[in-house]
Amino acid sequence: MSAQFASPTPMPLSEDKGLLLARLVDGLDSQALWWLSGYSAGLAATPIPAKVAPGSAQASSTAPVTIVFGSQTGNARRVAERLAADIERGGSPVRLLRADAYPLRELKTERLLYVVVSTQGEGDPPDDARAFVEHLTGKRAPRLDELRFAVLGLGDSSYPQFNAAGRLLDQRLGALGAERLFACGEADLDIETVVGPWLQQAVERARELEPKAPPRASVVPLRAATTQAHDRDHPFAAEVLANQRITARDSDRDVRHLELSLQGSGLDYEPGDALGVWPRNAPALVDEVLETLELDGESPVTFSGETLALREWLESRRELTRLARPFVARHAAASGQGALNRLLAPEQADTLRVLLERHQVIDLLHAWPARWGADDLVAALRPLTPRLYSIASSRKWVGEEAHLTVARTAWEVFGRAHAGAASGFLAGATEDSRIPVFVERNERFRLPADSSRDLIMIGPGTGVAPFRGFIQERAAVGASGRHWLLFGNPHFRSDFLYQVEWQEALREGRLDRLDLAFSRDQTDKVYVQHRLRENGREIHAWLERGAHLYVCGDASRMAHDVEEALLGIIAEHAATDRDGASERLEALRREGRYARDVY
């Protein structure tokens, strides 16, 4: 339910526009609201062309380029913003919309549409694009015979359903009668090799199809009001203030609480945002790769116009801990190993998936020996990419710092120790170390602007991280809403993350309820979804009274199991069937009252 504001005059907006406005301002601070007021005033002062009937010749010739994006980690959003800026510079009008803010009823009147979308998990679209995809693939999707379109998909070829969301949208738009301007782009982690040419085509076609417009205020609503000196491509070297293990020494999991200084960075964040970390591969792993391939780490290698020593390429620029299909294919060709080459056949997809999950680059080099030159190796390996961690603090509470909750990924296989690149890098950081970081906005995972709203927070494992920031923020602003946290992990004694802090928050009234699920402390495993079902009546009552519901953590199983529990709770206590429960949960998502940050 949207907030209601008293006004001496009727609001000059339709109900739909009013809801969009409420969602836009929800969670904005005073600085952002002042900027938005100036932006709106600028639009009001700019002459707007008279409206024309949708579908008329005039409408077709003057309709702006529309760019819709669905993004889970921010890559698709950045690419869409880059495309919008490039088209605007060419003189064409353009609007940029996140998929969940796109008015679906306008789809039938669109004339030029670009879609940029990532793929998650088992071929799923990002959360903010679910309704958009469901509408397009459903029975209510309109014919789109007058639409011209192109789709850019972003994914990771390590997963079997590579770019499934982009392919689905591309095929469906074509099936609805729309004209495909050029082939669907399918970008892997080395996104620029596909993104660059795709964007160039998109800008050129927009220039051909759309007349130049007179300068006017930008229609793009999602650009940042201010720019920060440090971003993904220009990270800030944050000093490590603390690195503390918060699981017991005998726990199977090494979970760290890190505190990083942002002093002098100019970086700002809100609860729900993520901190991007640029890791370095472990020197010991790089040494093993060099020794196995008998390569000199000091030999210079030039790639894409940049020259570095081979060792530096492998430590800071190339992915060694995540294996991808393209490198397996290149290695199969280099090794001449028929068995490895056969794994690339379509019927071996499941076997290849297991190999990609269990092996790192070094494992492949040992199992199927091959000779590699330094230049070819750097060209074949995927670029090292930043990892995103939910920020576990509030600026209002901790000042010029950002806190992280990091589970070190480590395992033994093939007779050697393995570790994740970023988690191992962070776990090994000492005080006074410098970590390259940037802030990744997450507008889909925000606290409600109305601090009297109740919160239900479901965060097992390290998924509890953003809720630590939520509680700090709400305490700092004196929020009157209630707070209910559901947390789970294997063992109470060794894996209760931030136990002392939660107990203090309960005593001080900053946390109203804490339900725990320690799965291995009894014969029958108990998870957070079981606690949800046990308290279904109260969960439903909180939601009926306007509570906001948040889920953070594992996407592969937990998020699905929690959603199934929520659907069952709504069906039982709202006296409806599964379809009705699904519609109610989707309505909460549209209202911004059901948000997930899953990975």
Residue 4 has pLDDT above 50, yes or no: no
309 in a structural domain: yes
CATH of the domain at 499: 3.40.50.80
Segments of 414-454 assigned E as strands: 416-419, 434-440
338 in a structural domain: yes
Same domain, 63 and 189: yes
User: What is the distance between the alpha carbons of residues 257 and 406, in angstroms, rounded to a whole number?
Assistant: 7
Q: How many domains does the chain have?
A: 4
47 in a structural domain: no
DSSP 372: -
Q: Return the top range by mean pLDDT from 205-209, 210-214, 419-423.
A: 419-423
Same domain, 271 and 291: no
Domain encompassing residue 127: 54-209
User: What is the distance between the alpha carbons of residues 223 and 66, in angstroms, rounded to a whole number?
Assistant: 15
Domain boundary among the residues 153, 174, 209 is at 209
Indicate if the alpha-carbon torsion angle 132, 136, 141, 145 is positive or negative. positive
Amino acid occupying residue 575: A
225 in a structural domain: no
Structure token digits, residue 373: 């030159």
Question: Which of 579, 486, 491, 586 has its CA nearest to residue 536?
Answer: 486
Q: pTM of the prediction? A: 0.83
User: What is the distance between the alpha carbons of residues 84 and 163, in angstroms, rounded to a whole number?
Assistant: 22
Same domain, 547 and 424: no
Same domain, 520 and 570: yes
Same domain, 175 and 260: no
pLDDT of residue 64: 80
CATH of the domain at 302: 1.20.990.10
User: What is the distance between the alpha carbons of residues 390 and 392, in angstroms, rounded to a whole number?
Assistant: 6
CB–CB of 150/114 below 8 Å?
yes
pLDDT of residue 286: 98
Alpha helices in 129-225 (DSSP H): 130-137, 164-175, 192-209
569 in a structural domain: yes
Q: What is the pLDDT of residues 279-294, one digit of tens each?
A: 999 999 999 999 999 9
Q: Which residues contact 310 (CB under 8 A, 6 or more apart)?
A: 290, 295, 296, 297, 298, 299, 300, 301, 374, 377, 378
pLDDT of residue 551: 98
Same domain, 261 and 289: no
With residue 406 as reference, give the H or E element that holds it.
strand 401-408
Give the model's confidence band at 7: pLDDT under 50 very low, under 70 low, under 90 confident, else very high. very low
User: What is the distance between the alpha carbons of residues 382 and 327, in angstroms, rounded to a whole number?
Assistant: 8
CATH of the domain at 243: 2.40.30.10
pLDDT of residue 51: 34
Same domain, 557 and 435: no
Structure token digits, residue 546: 């306007």
Structure token digits, residue 51: 């409206």
pLDDT of residue 232: 93
Amino acid occupying residue 509: G
CB–CB of 155/124 below 8 Å?
no
Same domain, 501 and 519: yes
Same domain, 523 and 393: no
Q: What is the pLDDT of residues 301-328, one digit of tens each?
A: 999 999 999 999 999 999 999 998 899 9
101 in a structural domain: yes
14 in a structural domain: no
pLDDT of residue 363: 96
Same domain, 184 and 78: yes
Structure token digits, residue 415: 């007779």
Structure token digits, residue 405: 């909750």
User: What is the distance between the alpha carbons of residues 369 and 335, in angstroms, rounded to a whole number?
Assistant: 6
Structure token digits, residue 552: 């953070």
43 in a structural domain: no
In percent, how much of the chain has pLDDT > 70? 86
Same domain, 503 and 524: yes
Find the distance separating the first CA and the last CA of the chain, reported in whole Å. Answer: 28
In percent, how much of the chain has pLDDT > 90? 75
Give the model's confidence band at 353: pLDDT under 50 very low, under 70 low, under 90 confident, else very high. confident
User: What is the distance between the alpha carbons of residues 379 and 86, in angstroms, rounded to a whole number?
Assistant: 29
Residue 383 has pLDDT above 70, yes or no: yes
CATH of the domain at 128: 3.40.50.360
Residue 227 has pLDDT above 70, yes or no: no
CA torsion, ordered 94, 98, 99, 100, to nearest 10 deg: -130
pLDDT of residue 2: 38
pLDDT of residue 22: 57
More confidently predicted of 49 and 304: 304
pLDDT of residue 497: 98
Residue 365, SS3? helix
Same domain, 264 and 202: no
Give the model's confidence band at 173: pLDDT under 50 very low, under 70 low, under 90 confident, else very high. very high
Structure token digits, residue 155: 């994914």
Alpha carbon 311 to its chain centroid, in Å, reads 31
